[in-house]
Amino acid sequence: MKFLASLYRSPQTRTGLILLTFVVLVALAAPLLAPFSPVNVDPSGRLLPPLSRVLASSTQGAPAHAETALHVLGTDSVGRDVLSRLIYGSRLSLTVGFLAVLISAVFGSLVGCLSGYWGGWVEALSAWLIDVQLSFPFLLLAIFLLGALGGGTLAVVLVLALGTWVNYARIVRAQVLSIKHQGYVEAAHATGAGTLRILFVHILPNTLSPICVVGSFSMALAILTEAGLSFLGVGLDPSTPSWGTMLNDGRDYLLTAWWIATMPGIAIGVTVLGVTLFGEGLRELLDPRGLR
């Protein structure tokens, strides 16, 4: 509780939390908030600028009782309401980002744990793999993998997870090594504790906080990367309402319908800002360095 209170006190984390909560709420309440359906196409209402009114019809997925409907942020190339796609897009972007970070953290921690604990060839191999992965830009790897093995949501999540697992591996490995040096392991073994127990009791608590910090930055990176991948056409399926696919869509119509590309970018910016501020505030809280 005290931790949450101090979290709130820092203006950075407070702003970050507010932004994040806002986005999460929007994502959760999407069906209630979105004025239109995000997938219904309306060939007659294509590329309408923001604040355009159209005659309401059931084919648009507009509220049944309305006579006219307002496209607050306009429509896209096939007549879908931009605002609604934006709102539903939050779901996808947040989910993809969160899952990617989760998988990445679990996998990375596991590798870090094992390589630190057993050392030897396990450690050498993982160190070498890390070097290989880091020796060329991650985006290229992502594009390559997605292009070669097909796209889709699951593939995107896995590839995004690939982008950040290294950080978790390093943190956990360092923690394991320091524990090893302190002789806890021998002592614990002497009292009959199993390896698993040692790992959970001694290592996990100390790594939780830095993992959370890295996690928030990873999430920011994941959201941005997903946007980039979908933009290039190798990420999520273009018909799904994600901010990245919207950018892909909007790019072709940049000169004629600027709103399609502009709005998702703002949405991404707000979300990533929230996550990043939160992460930074968290980091300052956990690593007291004072004046900056």
Partner 1 sequence: MFSFAIGKLLRAATVLLGVSFLTFIIGHASGDPVLLMVRGDATAQQKADLRHSLGLDRPVLTQYASYVGNALRGDLGISYRQRIAVGQLIRLRLPNSLELAGAAFTTAILLGFALGILAALNRDRVVDHAVAGLSILGQVVPGFWLGLMLVLLFAVHWQILPVSGSGDLAHLVLPAITLALPTLGRMARLVRAGMLDVLNSDYIRTARAKGLSERQVLLGHAAKNALLPLVTQAGLEFGDMVGSAFIIETVFAWPGIGRMVVNAVLQRDFLVVQGCVLVTAAGFVVINLTVDLLYAWIDPRVRGR
Q: How far is the CB of 61 from partner 1 (least distance, A)?
A: 27
Please identify, using beta-carbon distances, which residue of 207 and 271 lies nearer to partner 1. Answer: 271
Residue at token pair 């608590």? 205
For the CB of residue 196, give the shortest distance to partner 1 in the complex, in Å. 32
**CB 242 → partner 1: shortest distance, Å?**
13
Nearest approach, Cβ of residue 272 and partner 1 (Å): 4
Neighbours of 208 (CB within 10 A): 12
Q: Using the 8-state DSSP alphabet, how is residue 48 labeled?
A: P
* Closer residue to partner 1 in complex, CB, 22/258: 258
Nearer to partner 1, 37 or 245 (CB): 245
Q: Is 55 helix (H, G, I), strand (E, B) or coil?
A: strand
What are the tokens at 27? 């994502």
Q: Which is nearer to partner 1, 107 or 184 (CB)?
A: 107
Q: How far is the CB of 6 from partner 1 (least distance, A)?
A: 23
Q: How far is the CB of 133 from partner 1 (least distance, A)?
A: 9
CA distance 145 to 126: 20
- Closest by CA to 38, choosing from 61, 4, 66, is 61
Contacts with partner 1, residue ranges (CB under 8 A): 128-129, 131-132, 134-140, 143-145, 147-149, 220, 224, 227-228, 231-234, 247, 250-251, 254-255, 258, 261-262, 264-266, 268-269, 272-273, 276, 292
Contact 88, 30 (CB under 8 A): yes
For partner 1, which is the closer residue by CB, 117 or 278? Answer: 278
Rounded CA separation 230/119 (Å)? 39
Residue 87 backbone phi and psi in degrees, to 5:
-65, -45
**Residues contacting residue 154 through CB under 8 Å, at least 6 positions apart:** none
Q: Which of 89, 112, 107 is nearest to 226 (CA)?
A: 89
The nearest distance, CB 138 to partner 1, in angstroms, is 6
Instruction: Characterize 134-161 residue by residue with b for buried, 16 or more Cβ atoms within 10 angstroms of its Cβ, and e for exposed.
Output: eeeebeeebbebbeeeebebebbbbbbb
**Nearest to partner 1 of 11, 147 (CB atom):** 147
Which of 129/177 has CB closer to partner 1?
129
Phi–psi pair at 57, nearest 5 degrees: -145, 155
Residue 53 three-state SS? strand
Positive or negative, the CA dihedral 208, 219, 213, 117 is positive
Shortest distance (Å) from residue 288 CB to partner 1 = 16
Compute the distance between CA of residue 192 and CA of residue 4 in angstroms, rounded to an integer: 37
Nearer to partner 1, 42 or 249 (CB): 249
